[in-house]
Structure 1
Amino acid sequence: MKKTLIITLEFPPQVGGIATYVEQQAIHLDLTKTIILAPKNIQAKEWDKQQKYKIYRKKFFWFLWPRWFRLLWQVFWLCRKEKIEMILVHHVLPVGYIAVIMKKLKKIPFIVFSHGTDIVYATRSKHKIRLLKKVIQKSEKVFFNSQSLRNRFLRVIPELESKTDIIYPCPDKDFLIAPDKNDLDLLRAKLALEGKKVMLTVSRIDEGKGVTHITRLLPDILKKEPNLVWVLIGDGPKRSLIIKEIQKHNLQNVVRYLGSIPHDQLKNYYYLADIFVLLCHPDEGREEGLGLVFLESAACGIPAVAGRSGGVEEAVVHTQTGLVVDVYQQMTVVSAITELLANNDYRQKLGIHAQERIKANFNWTNQLSKLDEFLNLSEINNQIDLKF
C-alpha cells in the first residue's frame, strides 16, 4: 500500500460520527503505512499510545490570515518527513485546498472524503464554490458518505459527476456480537431498567438532531407506553435546554441522561434497548449525511425510528429495518414509536432484517475496495481480519 497521510479535523477520543468514520478507515488500512494528522486534544495522549499507527497532533490554525497557513506548513513538513505518497482529506475546505497546494508543490495525489456539513459550508458563496470546484478537479476522487450528499453536491457542480463516488460509514464488526449477559444485567440494574421498555438515543445534542422533539413528545408517548424509559447519550450546545425540558415536564424518573460515552463503550447500551430513536430534520440548509448511529443500532439488531433528513433513508429502510417519519407530524411520530414498542414480533422482525442488511452491505472490506486503484490495498498482508 502507498504510504498514506490522513488529515482530519475530528478524531478520537473525540466522540462523533466523523471521528469514528476516520478511525475505522485508518484501522482497515495498512497500519505500518498509515499516518494520522489530527488537531491537538489534551485527552488524546493515552488513547494515542494504544493505537498501532502513527498519530501526529498539531494545532491546525492560527490568528493571522490565512488561518490555515499553519496547517499547510505542518502538512508540508510531515509529507517530507514520512515520505508520503497519498493524502486522504476529510472536510473539503480548507483541508482540501491545502492538498491542492501540496499536489502542486510535491506532486502528491489526494482523495477527498465529504461527510455533510463541509459541503453545506463550501456551497454558501460563489467564492467557496469556486474553491470547492478546484479542489475536486485536482483530486483523484471525492467520496461522499451517502447518495443524498452526493446528489446535493451534483446539484451545485454537475459537471464533476465522474469524480464522485460513495463510501458508506460502517459499524465496527464488534457491534454484531452480543455482549456478555452478566455485563448487560449489571448495566440494566445500574440504570434501573429491569422490566422496562427502553428507548435509546445516541446523538450530538444540537439542532437538526431532533432531541428536543423527543423530549416534547415524551409525555404523549408515556400515555400509551407508561412503562418506558428513555436512555439519552450525547452532549452538545442544546444540552442545557434538554435538561430544562426534562425538568419542566417532570420526566426525571423516565429519562436516563448519561452525557457523552466513549464510542468503545456504546455497544452494551444498544443491546439494552428495544428501539433506537433519532428524529433528524433539516436545519438551516443542513441535513443528516447518513447517521452512523442508525447503522450501529442495526448491527445490534435494534430497529430505529428515524426522522427523514438527508441520507437517513439510506441507513434506515422504511418498514424493513425501521420506520422513517416526518418529525413535524407529531402524532404520526408518537404512533410509530408506541406501536413499535407494543408489537414485539414486528419489532424483532425489523431488528433481524436490520442486522442482516448490515452484514451484507455495510462492512469496510466492501466499502474500502473502492480505494484499491489509488492505494494498492491488495498489498496489505492480512494484518487485520477484515471479514465479518
Structure 2
Amino acid sequence: MKKTLLISEIFPPIHGGSGRWFWELYSRLPKEQYFIAAGLSDGHSEYDKQHDLNVTRLPLSSPAWGIKSLTGLSFYWKNFLKIRSLVKKNCIHQIHCGRCLPEGVFGYLMKKLYNIPYLCYIHGEDVEAASSSRELSYIVKKVLDNASRLITNSKNSQRILINHWKVNPDKTVVLNPGMDSKRFIPARYNLETRKKLGWDNRSVVLTVGRLQKRKGQDMLIQALLRIKKDIPDILYAIIGGGEEKEHLQTLVEKLNLKENVQFCSEISDEEMIQCYQQCTLFALPNRTIGKDIEGFGMVLAEAQSCGRPVLAGDSGGTVETMIIGETGYIVDCTSSEILAKKIIALLKEPDLLSAMGQKARKHAEETLDWDVHTQKAIKIFNSISQ
C-alpha cells in the first residue's frame, strides 16, 4: 500500500482557502494512506483531537523563504530533518506540497536525495508573488521543473505556469477547489434568522473572505454611496479578518456608511452558512493588486451551493466558478461606479435573482462538489509513478 505525505503550512484551524481545500480533500481519502505535516497555529492541538486525520504539526512559518539568509537556511534545515523522519517512519512513497514555497522545497529535496516523487499545488497568487524576487524565482523554478505533477486551482493559474514559468503543459492539471453541497444547502427566506444576524428585511450584499486589498471590499464600500440612492436600505455584510480591517473601518466612517456596513470577524460555521442562505446577493469584488490575484474563489462555490447568485471581479480565476449570465456575473471591480450599477440592476430584479439561485445550486452540485473533485484527485495521484 503506497503512502503519501501532504506538507502544508496553512491548514485548519488556520482560516484560509488553501487550508480548507486540503482539509476537505484529504479528509475524504483513506486515513491509513495519507499523512499530513501541517503548520502550527493557535488551537491546533484541540482541533486535531477532534478529527481522525494523521496530522503532525511542524513550525512551517518563517519570515524568510529564501536560502541566502541564515534564517532561511535554518528554517529549511530544521524542517527538512523533521520531514525526513516522517517520511522514513511512515514509509512515504509520494509527497504533496501545498505550495512551491516553502513546502515545495522539501519535496524537491526528498526527490533529489531519496527519489521520492512529489506534486505541487499552485494557487496563482503564490507563484505570482515569487516572480518579483530573483532569489525566490530561482527556487520556484527548481521546484516546478522537478515536480511530477503541478495541480493548479484554475485554468488562469495554469496559464501563469505555462506562459510565465515556461512549464511543460503536460505536467499541469486543473483541479478546482470545491465545497460540500450536503453542508452548504439552500434555505427559505427566514426573517427570524435575518433578525438574529442583524439584517431584518433589508437587501443584503455579502462578502466572505480575508480583508485584503485584492478582495475588493473597499471598492464595494465606495459603491454603496451610489447604491444607496436607489436602494436606501442596502446593507453590506463583510465576514472575515485581515490586515485591511482598520483601513476599511476608517473608510466606512469617512463615507458616513456605518448604518450600511456590518463587519463580522468572529463567526461560527453555522452562522456563516446562514449568512450565505439569507443574503440577497453574494459578491467577491476582487481585482489584481500588483502580483496579487484571486486564484479561484472558493466562497463563490459555497454561495452558489446555498442557492445564491454571485458577482465577482474579472481578475484571476473567478470566472471559472460560475456560469456567466446564469448563476453569476463578472464585472470590472476596479471601478466602484461599474460595480454599483451592476448591483443595483440585480437587486431590482428579484425574480431574476431567484432563477439564478436555483441554477447556481444545480451548477454547484454537479460540478463544484468535493466528492466530484476527490475522484479527480485520486486519478491524478495514481498517475504519478515512483
Equivalent in 100, 121, 131 of residue 92 of structure 1: 100
How big is the shift at 1:95?
1.5
- Residue number in structure 2 paired with 1:386: none
The Cα RMSD (Å) is: 2.2
- Residue number in structure 1 paired with 2:115: 107
Equivalent in 366, 370, 381 of residue 364 of structure 1: 370
Whole-angstrom CA distance in 1 between matches of 2:288 and 2:323: 19
Letter in 2 for 1:124: S
Query: Do structure 1's residue 319 and structure 2's residue 325 form an aligned pair?
Result: yes
Whole-angstrom CA distance in 2 between matches of 1:312 and 1:21: 16
Letter in 2 for 1:220: R
Whole-angstrom CA distance in 2 between matches of 1:311 and 1:59: 31
Query: Do structure 1's residue 53 and structure 2's residue 56 form an aligned pair?
Result: no
Query: Do structure 1's residue 295 and structure 2's residue 301 form an aligned pair?
Result: yes
Letter in 1 for 2:369: N
How big is the shift at 1:365?
3.3
Gapped regions of structure 1 (runs ≥ 5): 378-388
Task: Say if 1:61 and 1:71, in contact at 8 Å, map to a contact too.
Answer: no
**SS of equivalent to 1:32:** coil
Query: Do structure 1's residue 222 and structure 2's residue 233 form an aligned pair?
Result: no
Alignment of 1:146-225 (within 5 A): 146-178=154-186, 186-225=192-231
Task: Say if 2:309 and 2:328, in contact at 8 Å, map to a contact too.
Answer: yes
Change (3 A) 1:264 1:104: farther
Task: Say if 1:87 and 1:110, in contact at 8 Å, map to a contact too.
Answer: yes
Task: Say if 2:9 and 2:40, in contact at 8 Å, map to a contact too.
Answer: no
Whole-angstrom CA distance in 1 between matches of 2:92 and 2:192: 47
Change (3 A) 1:190 1:154: same
Letter in 1 for 2:258: Q
How big is the shift at 1:8?
0.7
Whole-angstrom CA distance in 1 between matches of 2:325 and 2:253: 34
Q: If the length of structure 1 is used for normalisation, what is the TM-score?
A: 0.90
Summarize deviations over 1:234-276 as a string: whole Å, max 9, x none: 1111100111122222322222211143556421110010101
- Residue number in structure 2 paired with 1:133: 141
Summarize deviations over 1:116-137 as a string: whole Å, max 9, x none: 2221133234544443333223
How big is the shift at 1:324?
1.0
**SS of equivalent to 2:215:** coil
Summarize deviations over 1:57-106 as a string: whole Å, max 9, x none: 12125663413222211211111122222211111123212111112323
Change (3 A) 1:291 1:318: same
Query: Do structure 1's residue 124 and structure 2's residue 142 form an aligned pair?
Result: no
Whole-angstrom CA distance in 2 between matches of 1:350 and 1:335: 18
Summarize deviations over 1:138-189 as a string: whole Å, max 9, x none: 222100000001001111233511100100000122344346x79x655422
Equivalent in 30, 50, 64 of residue 71 of structure 2: 64
Equivalent in 227, 249, 257 of residue 263 of structure 2: 257
Change (3 A) 1:185 1:43: farther
Task: Say if 2:7 and 2:103, in contact at 8 Å, map to a contact too.
Answer: yes
Q: If the length of structure 2 is used for normalisation, what is the TM-score?
A: 0.91
Task: Say if 1:12 and 1:19, in contact at 8 Å, map to a contact too.
Answer: yes
Query: Identity, % of aligned pairs?
Result: 26
**SS of equivalent to 1:68:** helix
